[in-house]
């Protein structure tokens, strides 16, 4: 198969034959493309953009991601009322509803997202681009956190007004730190799950379904996690929501007797989980991209 040949270009205009060799080519000017951190940053915000703009442009989330969790939260609030629970348990249920918004976002907009992207044809474009996949997932996470925060805080405000929940925050800086590292760990977990889901193929949707109620249970979303017993609570502490929710409850309701661990301890654990999950996310992405390229999974479309 010869390298060079004299070619005639088929063109509407009369282009004279060119003999194309490497040395004779007039190289046209190339557009600048960033590398390293700059590329990561640009790619991250590019991927976050659809989610950020979606919050403003596609307002059906007000019903699907606020009203639905609100209904679920209300149901649990009334269960507590039916059992004669103290008023702070209403607040527990409300916080559980807020946490639901974040967990559902992690499950359906993070973990399953690469699978949907493969289905829709976007995954190939991400992979072919020079942007590291971690930056794409980070962008999804950033956008997801914004999306989920809008929804979560809408639920918090509406339910707090509806059910007249009162809060007394014992330490605002601690609360903000807890929130930040819960999000970091949670979305790091979501990024890690995205890689796993990519390998799982069509099971992705089923796995997301499977991980809804069991996680609500294990993480004590609607009740103090210590009610599950020490062993289960310890295991459940691997889920960032478990520690985050427990710490937030203790800080904003000021009742330490129903807490699992002291909030400061839970903060340290969350910082550790953030590091672990973010590293695991990066590692699993690299590993699974390699497996995907080796076995052709990046290009298969199974329904």
CB of 189 to another protein, least distance (A): 19
What does the radius of gyration of the chain's CA atoms come to, in whole angstroms? 25
- Piece of the chain touching another protein by CB under 8 A; list 188-196, 236-244, 270-278, 289-297: 289-297
- Applying CB under 8 A, among 88, 122, 149, 286 the residue interacting with another protein is 122
Q: How far is CA 301 from the centre of its chain?
A: 23
Q: Which of 30, 173 has the CB closer to another protein?
A: 30
Q: Which of 155, 228 has the CB closer to another protein?
A: 228
CB of 106 to another protein, least distance (A): 17
3-state SS class at 32: coil
- Applying CB under 8 A, among 31, 161, 230, 231 the residue interacting with another protein is 31
Cα torsion angle, 164, 165, 169, 173, sign: negative
| DSSP E strands, 155-198 | none
Tokens representing residue 294 in the block = 């080796």
Q: Which of 46, 271 has the CB closer to another protein?
A: 46
Binding mask 249-288 for another protein (x = CB under 8 A): ----------------------------------------
CB of 29 to another protein, least distance (A): 9
Nearest to 34 by CA among 43, 26, 23: 43
- Piece of the chain touching another protein by CB under 8 A; list 23-31, 99-107, 174-182, 249-257: 23-31
Q: Which of 51, 270 has the CB closer to another protein?
A: 51
227 binds another protein (CB under 8 A): yes
DSSP per-residue codes, 198-267: HHHTTHHHHHHHHTSHHHHHHTTSSS-GGGG-HHHHHHHTTSHHHHHHHHHHHHHH--GGG-SS-HHHHH
- Applying CB under 8 A, among 114, 131, 270, 281 the residue interacting with another protein is 131
Cα torsion angle, 280, 281, 283, 284, sign: positive
Residues 76 to 115 in contact with another protein, rule: CB under 8 A: 76, 78-85, 89
Q: Which of 59, 173 has the CB closer to another protein?
A: 59
- Applying CB under 8 A, among 108, 157, 276, 302 the residue interacting with another protein is 302
- Structure-token match 């995954």, residue found: 123
Tokens representing residue 112 in the block = 């399953």
Q: Do 292 and 202 contact (CB within 8 A), yes or no?
A: no
CB of 272 to another protein, least distance (A): 27
Residues 3 to 22 in contact with another protein, rule: CB under 8 A: 3-5, 7-13, 15, 18, 20-22
- How far is it, in rounded angstroms, from Cα 136 to Cα 129? 10
3-state SS class at 192: helix
Q: Which residues pair with 7 in a beta bridge?
A: 18
- Piece of the chain touching another protein by CB under 8 A; list 99-107, 244-252, 275-283, 294-302: 294-302
Element (H, E) at 19: strand 18-19
Q: Which of 15, 172 has the CB closer to another protein?
A: 15
Residues 165 to 224 in contact with another protein, rule: CB under 8 A: 201-203, 206-207, 209-210, 212-214, 216-217, 221-224
């Amino acid at each position: 198969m010869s390298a060079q040949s004299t070619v005639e270009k088929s063109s509407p205009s009369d282009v004279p034959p060119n003999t194309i060799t490497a040395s004779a080519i007039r190289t046209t000017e190339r557009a600048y493309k960033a590398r390293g951190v700059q590329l990561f940053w640009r790619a991250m915000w590019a991927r976050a953009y659809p989610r950020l703009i979606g919050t403003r442009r596609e307002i059906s989330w007000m019903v699907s991601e606020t009203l639905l969790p609100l209904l679920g939260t209300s149901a649990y609030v009334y269960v507590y009322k039916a059992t004669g629970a103290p008023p702070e348990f209403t607040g527990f249920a409300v916080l559980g509803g807020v946490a639901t918004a974040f967990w559902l976002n992690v499950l359906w907009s993070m973990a399953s997202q690469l699978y949907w992207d493969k289905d829709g044809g976007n995954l190939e474009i991400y992979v072919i681009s020079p942007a590291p996949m971690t930056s794409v997932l980070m962008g999804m996470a950033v956008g997801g956190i914004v999306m989920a925060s809008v929804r979560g805080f809408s639920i918090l405000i509406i339910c707090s007004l509806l059910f007249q929940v009162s809060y007394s925050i014992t330490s605002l800086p601690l609360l903000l730190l807890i929130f930040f590292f819960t999000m970091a760990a949670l979305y790091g977990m979501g990024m890690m799950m995205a890689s796993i889901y990519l390998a799982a193929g069509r099971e992705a949707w089923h796995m997301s379904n499977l991980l809804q109620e069991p996680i609500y249970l294990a993480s004590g979303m609607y009740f103090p996690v210590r009610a599950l017993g020490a062993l289960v609570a310890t295991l459940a502490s691997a889920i960032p929501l478990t520690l985050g929710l427990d710490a937030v409850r203790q800080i904003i309701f000021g009742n330490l007797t129903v807490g699992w661990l002291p909030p400061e301890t839970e903060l340290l654990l969350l910082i550790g989980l953030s590091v672990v999950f973010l590293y695991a996310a990066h590692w699993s992405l690299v590993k699974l991209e390699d497996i995907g390229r080796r076995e052709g999974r990046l290009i298969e479309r199974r329904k």
